[in-house]
Amino acid sequence: ATPPRKEKYFACLLRSQDIVTFTIKVIGLSLSLPLISAAATPLSGRPLGVLGVNCRHVILYNLGLQQLYAGHPTAAFDSLLEVVQVYHTNPRLWLRLAEACIAAQAQMEEERSQKKRYKNTLVNEVFGKGLHRKLVVAPMPNSVCSSLQDAEAHSQSAAMPAPTLEFAAICLSNAKFLLPNTPPVVSDDPPTSTPPVPAPPGPPIQGHSVSSLRCYVLACQAYVSLGLGDPVTSLASSRELLATPLLSGGLRFLGQVYSAEALVLLGRVSEAMTHLTPESVVNISVSSPKPVLKDSDSETAAQLSTHPPNAGPQVHQFPESLSQARAVMLFNTAAVFCITRDNDKARKALQEAVKLLPNPPPPQTVLLSAYIELMSGNTAAALHLLKVAHPYPHGMDFQKKPRKAAATYLAMKH
C-alpha cells in the first residue's frame, strides 16, 4: 500500500529542508535520517508504480555528500557505497567515494598522531648517560605503512569495499574510465565540443565540467599512487594534470608538488627541482577559469555571467593561504637540498618556510632542521632544536655560529 498523504508531505518537507540547509552551508544539520528510515520499509506488497518512484538511493546520495562535507568520511563511505551499486555509471559518484576513502585514511593518521602531545612525538626514547646518551627520534606517520596496516586489519583483498587507499585507487580508475578520453576544452572550441557524460540520478555532465572532473580525478589519483608507493603512476597522472589547459591554481599547485615528490622517489632529483619554485604559486583556488567562447556563443556566455554556477559549500583544507602554499614549496625544496648535501641552501629554504607557517610549526620542520644541523656537524644545535621543539628560534643564527648560539640559548634557559 502507498504511504498516507501526511507522511508523503512530511517526507517532501524533510527533503526540502535538507537541501536548503546544505545550500546555506549548514552541513552538520542533516534531516535525511528519518526519511531514509521511512524509505527502508519492506517493499513487498507495493505496486510496481510505487517501486519505480523509490527515492531511497537518491536520498542516500545526498546524505553521503553531507557526511563527507561535515567531516564524517567513514559514514559517508557507507552511504555512498550503497548508492554506487545502483548508479555505477556516474563518474562523479566514484570520485566522491574515493574522496571518502582518502579522508578516512587522513583522519586515521591524524588520530594516530594526536595520541601523544606535540613535543613528545619528536623524541621517542632516551637511553644512555653522559657522552653515550642517545636520542631516538620518533618517525612521522607514513601513509604507505598506515594503508598496509589497515589492509591487514581488514584481512581482505584491495578489491573488497573498505575505506582504504587501495579501494580508492579502484574507484578513481572507474571514474577515469567513465570519462571520455578526448582533448579537454580549449579557448578556441565551444563548450559543446565535449560529449555529455551520464551522471544519474542527476543531469548529464556537459562542457567544461567534464574537463574539470577529469582534473580532480587525476589529482586524487596522483595522491593515492604516492600513498601506495607507486611513483610511476603518480608521475604520469601529475603530468597529465599539468598538461590540461585552463587548470586552476590549486590543482596546478598539487600537480607540481606531486610531480616533485614522485621524481624524488624515482631518483631524478635535478628534474624535481624544476617543479619546486615558490614564485610560481600565485593562486590556490580550485575553481577553474571559464573558457573563452566564440562570438557565436555570446548568448551562452551571457547566461553564464547572469547565472553563475553554484560553487557549493567550501571545505576547510590545507593550505589555507597563498603563504602556506609557498611554505610547502620551500619545505620540499629544503628536503631536496638535503638529499643533494647542500646544507646551507637547505637551511636557508627551511628558515624562509618557517616564517610563512603558523605557530606552532609542524613537527616535520623541527626534524628537518635537526637533520640539517646533524649533517653540518652541529650536534649541539640539533639537540637544542629537538629540546625546544621549534626550528630555528627567533634571534638564533645557527648558520654563522651554531655551536655558540646553541650554548648561549641553553645558558639563557637554565
Three cell numbers written together for 187: 579557448
Confidence band for 290, pLDDT divided at 50, 70 and 90: low
User: What are the tens digits of pLDDT across the range 320-365?
Assistant: 899 999 999 999 999 999 999 999 999 999 999 999 988 888 888 9
Is 50 exceeded by the pLDDT of residue 157? yes
CB atoms within 10 A of CB 139: 10
pTM score: 0.79
How far, in Å, CA of 373 to CA of 356, rounded?
21
**pLDDT above 70 covers what percent of the chain?**
66
| Model confidence band, residue 293 (pLDDT cutoffs 50, 70, 90) | very low
Is the pLDDT score of 160 beyond 70? yes
HSE-CB at 66 with a 13 A cutoff on CA atoms is 23
User: Are 284 and 256 spatial neighbours (Cβ–Cβ below 8 Å)?
Assistant: no
Q: pLDDT-based confidence at 414, cuts 50/70/90? A: very low
The pLDDT value recorded for residue 31 is 47
Yes or no: say if 81 and 161 are a contact pair by the CB < 8 Å rule.
yes
